[in-house]
Amino acid sequence: MSSQIDHLLTETRRFAPSAEFAEQANAHADLYDEATADREAFWAEQARALHWEKPFTKALDWSNPPFATWFEDGELNVAYNCLDRHVEAGHGDRIALLWEGEPGDERRVTYAELTDEVKRLANVLTDLGVESGDRVAIYLPMIPEAVASMLAVARIGAIHSVVFGGFSADSLRSRIDDAGAKLVITSDGGYRKGKISPLKPAVDQALGDRGHGPQETVEHVLVVKRTENEVSWQEERDLWWHDLVPAASADHVAQPFPAENPLFILYTSGTTGKPKGILHTSGGYLAQAAFTNKAVHDLHPETDVYWCTADIGWITGHTYVTYGPLANGATQVIYEGTPDTPHPGRWWEIVAKYGVTILYTAPTAIRSFMKLGRSIPEQHDLSSLRLLGSVGEPINPEAWMWYRHVIGGDRAPIVDTWWQTETGAIMVSALPGVTETKPGSAQVPLPGISLDVVDDQGQEVGNGNGGLLVLTEPWPSMLRGIWGDPERFKETYWDKFADQGFYFAGDGARLDEEGDVWFLGRVDDVMNVSGHRLSTTEIESALVGNEAVAEAAVVGASDETTGQAVVAYCVLKNSYTQAHDLEGVVDALRKWVGDQIGPIARPRDVYIVTELPKTRSGKIMRRLLRDVAEGREVGDTTTLADTMVMATIKGQVIGK
Ligand code: WTA
């Protein structure tokens, strides 16, 4: 079946779903025909799987591009769709969350219990003065309260902004400020790598004076007790979840809101240092989240045990932990901790313990398991797995094959899913019961999605050639804007191909001879580290914020485990080098970035150099620094202001 020869250049292996899988699959090939025949009618039909308090009469309004509306005159309540309607349909006893804490504690939460908790919390939020349209920041570990918080905010028509618990106080502060959040929901801490990682202290710092005065919009901080570490308390402002939520009434009738009511803001990296608040709304987002979870993950809520390993701090956690699976009435695993705590087989132990049938994770995780060797997963019974998913970055064919063989027992189809914070839901993927998959290709646009690969002028490059990925038609879960910055929204995604009206995704791609999509990585100055987007500019500005650093350039260098790794080149201040011993400065700078932005941004390497390569107009030539970081021959240096500088840098890097 498989030829290993030259598969890096031309992948020749093919994997068709078994007849048995294809037959039971939710999605069949006719979906492509339906969507081609009438795209808007297709999406309207998917949206009708939700409960609409007031049905919509029209799918798309694209009369004012790039500002789309979907199902605009319809009204629904997102939380009702994820909770109450399942209870009313008689599934209240079905388990929604199979929660596993890192220390090994567990909680099983049924749909009835989760609905009850969300209703109480909705009453608490209303009592605290949170109204529809207000912003609530959520800074929590992966505990059931995190999901409940998102749903309670949605239930009252307010807007959540979830900030990943690994982000620092400064990152949290800038996100709280940008959104103008009224309330923060956090916990004393969470467990990570066997230790308590405190969260409330970071909130206290974030709300304090960070150099421009104390934070002004936050009125209250609601705190879940998880780790029982000592926390400081500000009377009036700080409130314990366990004091308020259990005591609140569990009667709460969900009010319908318009389909275009904002649901959440999620911050992501752009090419400038300032994170972008990606805005998503309700009806279209939920429709595509639920549809893709059903069609791509092949979710059968009565029988499947689904596990998406993403944190709710990322878009994958929003769409494929909270909204998609719960809208579909799924039973899912949520795990608080890291994959290797307390032992490297922890994930596989969880798969076996709960009989996980669908696993959705990231290539970086798969590669780190590959590194540890197959003997670890082989100690656990993984025979329950029937579908595997990948997201966050291109998955190389080796990792794909390993995933299929070692984890999926050569049985479970793999869906490699391409999408973005901005797209809200999966856009490119196999349909697992239909597509004959190729290791390394994300395959084809989903039914109802239209894309192309074009050159800088927007001309189709044709099969076999690399170019820029564009989305050529609006889709229901598309971002509706950047919070507070409509100009930046247009500029970032729409201006490049304004004549054609294409959405520019920022990714390079190639369509092969059969029209299957191969992603080639970001084309802008955004890195992808372990499936998370980091901006080079943001890390550079953190570095120059350090007293030792005069200038910094950051590049993403390919890394066997994390996809890309952060590599920084720093020029130190003369005043600093004269007055200080440079021993330890590299480690100090790595730690500094970790403290400023969060541990995921910590550079793998920091090189101290005397100069950076610049063009005559002063632009840093990152391409050359990437060559050095990846140990390659340095490319064309003719446009450098000083052509000698690269030889100097190479000497300094190698001389280390
Ligand atoms: C990359 C994560 C190749 C891509 C859902 C995109 C991928 C960015 C894939 C979005 C994939 C995500 N194959 N590349 N299957 N999935 N990407 O916003 O560069 O965190 O633009 O959303 O990740 O990252 P984000």
Q: How far is the CA of 419 from the centre of ligand 1 (A)?
A: 5
Q: How far is the CA of 415 from the centre of ligand 1 (A)?
A: 14
Residues 6+ apart with CB under 8 A from 265: 135, 159, 160, 161, 179, 277, 278, 279, 280, 483
Which residue CA neighbors atom 4 of ligand 1 most closely? Answer: 393
How far apart, in whole angstroms, are the C-alpha atoms of residue 587 and residue 593? 10
The per-residue pLDDT for 615 is 76
Helix (H) or strand (E) holding 364: helix 363-372
How far apart, in whole angstroms, are the C-alpha atoms of residue 205 and residue 608? 31
How far apart, in whole angstroms, are the C-alpha atoms of residue 134 and residue 179? 9
Which residue CA neighbors atom 8 of ligand 1 most closely? Answer: 420
Residues 78 and 39 sit within 8 Å (Cβ to Cβ): no
Q: Which residues line ligand 1 (CB under 6 A)?
A: 268, 314-316, 391-394, 416-421, 442, 505-507, 519, 522, 528, 533
The per-residue pLDDT for 637 is 80
Q: How far is the CA of 152 from the centre of ligand 1 (A)?
A: 28
How many CB atoms are closer than 10 A to CB 272?
Answer: 14
Please compute, for residue 404, the number of CA atoms within 13 A of its CA located in the half-sphere on the CB side. 22
Task: State which residues of the chain have pLDDT below 50.
Answer: 1-9
Q: Write the single-letter amino acid at 547.
A: E
Question: Which residue from 271, 367, 419, 444 has its CB within 8 A of the most atoms of ligand 1, so it is best to mutate?
Answer: 419
pLDDT in tens, 169-216: 999 999 999 999 999 999 999 999 999 999 999 999 999 998 889 999
Q: Tokens 């009438």 appear where?
A: 38
The phi-psi region of residue 10 (left if phi > 0; otherwise alpha if psi is between -120 and 50; otherwise beta) is beta
Q: Which atom of ligand 1 is nearest to the CA of 428?
A: 15
Question: Which residue from 420, 526, 529, 532 has its CB within 8 A of the most atoms of ligand 1, so it is best to mutate?
Answer: 420
Q: How far is the CA of 68 from the centre of ligand 1 (A)?
A: 22
Q: How far is the CA of 67 from the centre of ligand 1 (A)?
A: 23
- Which phi and psi (to 5°) does residue 601 adopt? -90, -5
Residues, the chain, total?
A: 656
Q: Which atom of ligand 1 is nearest to the CA of 421?
A: 18
Question: Which residue from 507, 520, 525, 564 has its CB within 8 A of the most atoms of ligand 1, so it is best to mutate?
Answer: 507
pTM (predicted TM-score):
0.91
Q: Which atom of ligand 1 is nearest to the CA of 521?
A: 19
Residues 136 and 158 sit within 8 Å (Cβ to Cβ): yes
Q: Which atom of ligand 1 is nearest to the CA of 395?
A: 13
Q: Which atom of ligand 1 is nearest to the CA of 316?
A: 5
Which residue CA neighbors atom 15 of ligand 1 most closely? Answer: 418
Residues 6+ apart with CB under 8 A from 456: 468
The per-residue pLDDT for 655 is 64
Q: Tokens 């999901």 appear where?
A: 147
Which residue CA neighbors atom 22 of ligand 1 most closely? Answer: 420
Alpha helices in 453-584, H assignment, sequence order: 486-493, 536-544, 574-579
For the chain, the straight-line distance linking the first and the last C-alpha, in angstroms and rounded, comes to 47
Residues 621 and 655 sit within 8 Å (Cβ to Cβ): no
Q: How far is the CA of 426 from the centre of ligand 1 (A)?
A: 10
Residues 6+ apart with CB under 8 A from 630: 557, 558
Question: Which residue from 293, 393, 526 has its CB within 8 A of the most atoms of ligand 1, so it is best to mutate?
Answer: 393
Helix (H) or strand (E) holding 150: helix 144-155
Question: Which residue from 269, 533, 564 has its CB within 8 A of the most atoms of ligand 1, so it is best to mutate?
Answer: 533
Q: Which atom of ligand 1 is nearest to the CA of 268?
A: 18
How far apart, in whole angstroms, are the C-alpha atoms of residue 564 and residue 557? 5
Which residue CA neighbors atom 12 of ligand 1 most closely? Answer: 392
Q: Which of 261, 540, 531 is nearest to 416 (CA)?
A: 531
Residues 279 and 262 sit within 8 Å (Cβ to Cβ): yes
Q: How far is the CA of 239 from the centre of ligand 1 (A)?
A: 37
Q: How far is the CA of 3 from the centre of ligand 1 (A)?
A: 28
Q: How far is the CA of 316 from the centre of ligand 1 (A)?
A: 10
Question: Which residue from 268, 418, 530 has its CB within 8 A of the most atoms of ligand 1, so it is best to mutate?
Answer: 418
Angle between helices 622-629 and 645-654 (to 10 degrees): 30
Alpha helices in 545-584, H assignment, sequence order: 574-579
Q: How far is the CA of 420 from the centre of ligand 1 (A)?
A: 5
